[in-house]
Structure 1
Amino acid sequence: MNLLFDSFWRAAAYCLHPRVVLLSLAPLVLMVGVAVGLGYFFWEPALDAVSAMLASWDLVTSFVLWLEGIGLPGLKAALAPLVVVFVSTPVIVVVSLLMVAALMAPAILTLVAQRRFPTLERKHGGSVIAGVFGALGATLVALLALVLSIPLWLVPPLVLIVPPVIWGWLTYRVMSYDVLAEHASRDERRELMRRHRHSLFAIGVLTGYLGAAPSLVWVSGVMTVVLWPVLVPLAIWIYTLVFAFSALWFTHYALSALQVLRAEPELLLMPGEGPSPASLPPAEPVVHPSLPPAPAPHP
């Protein structure tokens, strides 16, 4: 628990480091360009498709008539943009995570290692290819879980639990591997994952809740269309900064745990390792103090 809180405040302090602030702007510039390009080519077709789908549902038609009956006909035009925004938000969150893992996480890992752990040996127990395939696999599982859990979002308590837990699991899987792949060996990484699985998952869930905070910006963007070009980059930057904080928290925690693991007096031996019985010195006979020593043999 002490390690959890210690790594938390260190990660919060590192978010104010000039290098981290600049790193958070690099994915922002790239993602803003992608978002603007997709919005330019697909925003209107997406709105038309969603509007046609909503118009074909009798329940939505009844809801729109009810809005017109209570004097709120303008909300009808906001339904399609609202649906498009809520559908695209999980995609933007996942892309933000992958961008941070690809661009920011290595630089953040180098920064923390140079400043706090300059003598920590790098054993290179992971590879970039394995990290990429692992991140893609975890992302597909998380997206599938999000799609399957959409009916649960209609239950008020579960909508505050299910999505952050899924984001937390995804963050935990991606970040844990990335921050340990360079310094820890494969056996050390497995041992750390076994010992600190719950703490690492808790970090992922807490950062998942932090990642849900920028949703308020998206809602205001739907209600205030004029500020949409400003609110979209702001929301993306907040997502990126949250995931940068997540990478810092995982890095401080994992490298500290690895340092503690290597400082333990007893080495972690795999099955079959260690000295063989034949190489051990022969045991000396034990003589009871109350008995006389055995007589020496006659020549």
Structure 2
Amino acid sequence: MKDLLDAFWRASAYCLHPRVMLLTLAPLLIAAALALGLGWLYWESAVDGVREVLDRWSLTAAMLGWLDAMGGQSLRSVISPLLVVSLAVPVLVVVSLLLVSVLATPALTAMVAQRRFPALERRHGAGFWHSAAWSVGCSLLALLALALSVPLWLVPPLVLVLPPLIWGWLTYQMVAFDVLSDHATREERRRILREQRWALLAMGVVSGYLGAAPSLLWAFGAAVLILAPVLVVASVWLYTLVFVFSSLWFAHFSLAALQRLRAQEAALAGGAAPPGGEIIEMPAPASTLQLPREPQA
């Protein structure tokens, strides 16, 4: 817990660094341009498609008819746009996380390593394409789990637990892998992910709850649809900032764990390791030193 909190405060302080703020611009511009472009091209067709699907379902048709009978015609007109937004937000989260993972996490990890762990050896356990394939695979699994869990969201407690837990697992798998891919070997990475899995999962869940905070911008009903272009950019920036903070948090925690692991391995091998992980040979114990022989008479 001490190491986790120490990494948390260090990551919070790093977020105020001008270089970190600049690293949020590239994912922000790409994700915002993609969201606004797709919205400009497909917003009306998506809303019409959702409206047709709702009209075909007997259950939703009966509910919409009940709303009309109760004088809720205005609510009927905003249900489809709100559903489109609700379906687009998870995709926006995954896109933001992927962009931060590809564009910002390597630079943030290098920044943390240079400033805090300058002597930590880079052993290049995974390349760019391996990391990209891992990120895409985990993202697809998270989206599948999210889609399968949608019916459970109707149970009030679960809607507050399942989505952050899925986002937390995704953040933990992607960011921890990317942080350790350049400095740790394959065996070191697997051992850290196995031994620190509960701490890393807790960090991922906290990041998942922080990542769910921008979605509250869309929770004010139909009024937010008027400001949708502005809210899309604001949401993407908040998602990017949260995932940048998560990358820094995982970088501080995982690189510190890697440094301790190498120090322990060096100690077991009969040496002592300085903070950077380099081994310094220690003199043999006095009990093992051979005494000079006395001359024979």
Report the residue type matching 2:81 in the other structure.
Answer: P
Cα displacement (A) at 1:147: 1.1
Q: Which residue of 2 aligns with 1:28?
A: 28
1:266 aligns with 2:278: no
Report matched runs for 1:38-187 at 5 Å: 38-187=38-187
Cα displacement (A) at 1:66: 3.0
Percentage identity across paired residues of the two chains: 53
1:223 aligns with 2:243: no
Cα displacement (A) at 1:31: 1.1
Report the residue type matching 1:46 in the other structure.
Answer: A
Cα displacement (A) at 1:221: 7.2
Q: 1:241 to 1:202 in 2, by over 3 A?
A: same
CA contact (8 A) 1:221 1:231 kept: no
CA contact (8 A) 1:210 1:242 kept: yes
Cα displacement (A) at 1:101: 0.3
Structure 1 distance, partners of 2:207, 2:269, is: 33
Cα displacement (A) at 1:227: 1.4
Q: Deviations over 1:21-55 (max 9, x none)?
A: 11112111111111111111111110110111111
Report the residue type matching 2:39 in the other structure.
Answer: G
SS of 2:220's equivalent?
helix
Cα displacement (A) at 1:62: 2.8
CA contact (8 A) 1:11 1:245 kept: yes
Q: 1:160 to 1:183 in 2, by over 3 A?
A: same
Q: Which residue of 1 aligns with 2:257?
A: 257
Q: Deviations over 1:147-189 (max 9, x none)?
A: 1111111111111111111111111111111101111112211
SS of 2:119's equivalent?
coil
SS of 1:125's equivalent?
coil
Cα displacement (A) at 1:226: 2.3
SS of 1:224's equivalent?
helix
Cα displacement (A) at 1:94: 0.6
Structure 1 distance, partners of 2:100, 2:27, is: 7
Report matched runs for 1:274-289 at 5 Å: none
Report matched runs for 1:201-220 at 5 Å: 201-220=201-220
Report the residue type matching 2:162 in the other structure.
Answer: V
Report the residue type matching 1:66 in the other structure.
Answer: W
Q: 1:118 to 1:40 in 2, by over 3 A?
A: same
Structure 2 distance, partners of 1:208, 1:36, is: 24
Report the residue type matching 1:107 in the other structure.
Answer: A
Q: Which residue of 1 aligns with 2:289?
A: none
Q: Deviations over 1:107-145 (max 9, x none)?
A: 111111111111111111111111111111111111111
Alignment gaps of 5+ in structure 1: 269-299
Structure 1 distance, partners of 2:31, 2:44, is: 20
Structure 2 distance, partners of 1:113, 1:56, is: 56
CA contact (8 A) 1:221 1:232 kept: no
Cα displacement (A) at 1:214: 1.0
Q: Which residue of 1 aligns with 2:236?
A: 236
Q: State how many pairs are aligned.
A: 269
Cα displacement (A) at 1:195: 1.4
Q: Deviations over 1:204-242 (max 9, x none)?
A: 111011111111112337433321121110011111111
Structure 1 distance, partners of 2:190, 2:88, is: 35
Give me the TM-score of the superposition, normalised by structure 1: 0.86
Give me the TM-score of the superposition, normalised by structure 2: 0.87
Cα displacement (A) at 1:267: 4.1
Alignment gaps of 5+ in structure 2: 271-297
